[in-house]
A = this chain, B = another copy of it.
Amino acid sequence: MNASAPHAHLMQPQLTPRPLPAEMLEALKARFGAQRCSTALAVREQHGRDESVFDVPPPEVVVYAESSEEVAFVVALAQRHRVPVIPYGAGSSLEGHLLAVQGGVSLDLSRMNKILRVNAEDLTVTVQAGVTRNQLNAEIRHQGLFFPIDPGADASLGGMAATRASGTNAVRYGTMRENVLALAVVTPQGELIQTGTRARKSSAGYDLSRLYIGSEGTLGVICELTLKLYPLPEAISAAVCFFPSIDAAVQATIQIIQIGVPIARCELLDANAVRAVNAHDRLGLREAPMLLMEFHGSEAGVAEQAGTVQEVAREFGGEDFDWATTPEARTKLWTARHHAYLSGLQMRPGCRAVTTDTCVPISRLAESINESVREVQEAGLPYFIVGHVGDGNFHLAYLIDPNVPAERETAERLSAQMVQRALRLEGTCTGEHGVGLHKQGFLLDEAGEGAVEVMRSLKRALDPHNIMNPGKIFTL
């Protein structure tokens, strides 16, 4: 909304490590023992990377917490020594969130993996932050319940809240923003607070839950989450449909959303992405732009939605409507969709992907995608597209050779052009991946200096010594 001259975009983060005092390391070792407090290089390197293209700056020590009290202990100690703390969940973030650009402690929450309380009668669950979405769904399925947010990776729920994740089901069920009722958070001072209650709504003071959701570990450590659950739909049906062009697939999507079909998932794969999942999962799909859709509801409701969508798709040249009504057939399709990113990488052995994540108002989606495709084809980089198009959100992945700096520069240039276009189209530089290291310039372009300065004021107020995941989202 504040389109001004684009800001410089970070190619590689600047490293400004703060030393870890020996006294602090000793205190950590005394409390956690060698098993849960590691300075081994392999462990540190594993915790200093994510799925981004950045090189690894490892933390100085990795601590495995098993309770909120242990998290509070580590953070209070780090606060006393002014040492950075980087919360670590499943390591699946994409924008450099986990990189220890100022050194410090990687606080691994993956062992905080208990489902604390299912309240089926209220459709709520309380979990520790290290529980993954697949673990949660496996445990509640027999109660006829599910948690819809699905970013693809089997991410931890704490990490999903920290990046305000969404994914394939967001078009119907919303994002983490809409599906968290309450949090237990350790503040940068090492105090455990509760935000929210199990009530579905509240007007009781500032919305602290929503402040921590999307704060990328910069304001505190999310230790527990109370989430909304949903009854498993009586009927679920998935379908694929192939289109003569990406534009046709996108135009069909726009119309499906505009007429208000309560579609549960509406995913685009371009021909490159279909080719990749075919190669990876032997699916034998037609290698053309494809929509992968899912419908939830009563038997009659699902049939009605599917009928409407077929009619719309046909108007735009959609063909070969293929239905998956058994759970097995559906799982096969969605597994292929979830493998799209890895499958895509395998199209160019040894490559790394520069992944984009713009989201625009639905009416601007065709323009946004078409122009981006034109530009990448002109530049001649291999690429593929997958998109949560029902939300106006899509990912274009440029496959670059990490040993050829010119390819990385081209990808960064194309990505920047794509973001600037998304902002002109009244969209956002990141629909679901977050800002991390990579999008700090884009955030300034999008929100404007004034709004980012408000964010910085909040950070300074809650974390005056900048110990929580420093260097992410913005520079102070």
Contact = CB atoms under 8 A, between A and B. Distances in A.
B164 A454 contact: no
A165 interface: yes
A178 interface: yes
B121 A362 contact: yes
A265 to B, nearest CB: 15
Contacts of A199: 359-361, 392-393, 426-428, 431
Interface string A175-203: 10110001000010001111111111111
Contacts of A215: 206
A122 to B, nearest CB: 4
A306 B165 CA distance: 35
Most B Cβ at <10 Å: residue of A200, A433, A452, A454 = A200
Contacts of A473: 205-206
A447 interface: yes
Contact of A474 (B203, B205, B432, B434): B205
Given A201-B177, A204-B429, A457-B461, A361 B182 contact: no
Given A455-B205, A457-B462, A198 B361 contact: yes
A294 interface: no
Given A214-B206, A454-B462, A462-B457, A432 B201 contact: yes
Contacts of A2: 194
A34 interface: no
A202 B174 CA distance: 11
A192 B194 CA distance: 32
Contact of A197 (B164, B426, B474): B426
A124 interface: yes
A461 B211 CA distance: 15
Contact of A187 (B204, B392, B454): B454
B451 A203 contact: no
Contacts of A12: none
A458 B458 contact: yes
A123 B259 CA distance: 10
Contact of A207 (B177, B194, B452, B462): B177
Nearest to A174: B178
A350 interface: no
Given A300-B304, A361-B122, A361-B198, A204 B450 contact: no
A363 interface: yes
A2 B452 CA distance: 33
Given A258-B231, A362-B121, A447 B194 contact: yes
Nearest to A215: B206
B122 A192 contact: no
A349 interface: no
Contacts of A208: 447, 451, 454-455
A178 to B, nearest CB: 6
A205 B431 contact: no
A313 to B, nearest CB: 18
Q: Which 5 A-B pairs have the closest CB atoms?
A: A461-B461, A210-B210, A231-B260, A202-B428, A122-B361
21 contacts: A122-B364, A123-B258, A164-B203, A187-B450, A197-B423, A197-B428, A199-B361, A202-B428, A203-B357, A204-B428, A205-B474, A207-B211, A208-B451, A208-B454, A233-B260, A300-B300, A300-B304, A301-B301, A301-B304, A457-B461, A458-B461
Given A164-B203, A195-B447, A461-B461, 4 more contacts: A197-B426, A204-B443, A206-B215, A208-B454
Interface of A: 1-2, 119, 121-124, 163-166, 170, 174-175, 177-178, 182, 187, 191-208, 210-211, 213-215, 230-231, 233, 254, 257-260, 298, 300-301, 304, 357, 359-364, 391-393, 423, 426-435, 439, 442-443, 446-448, 450-452, 454-455, 457-458, 460-462, 473-474
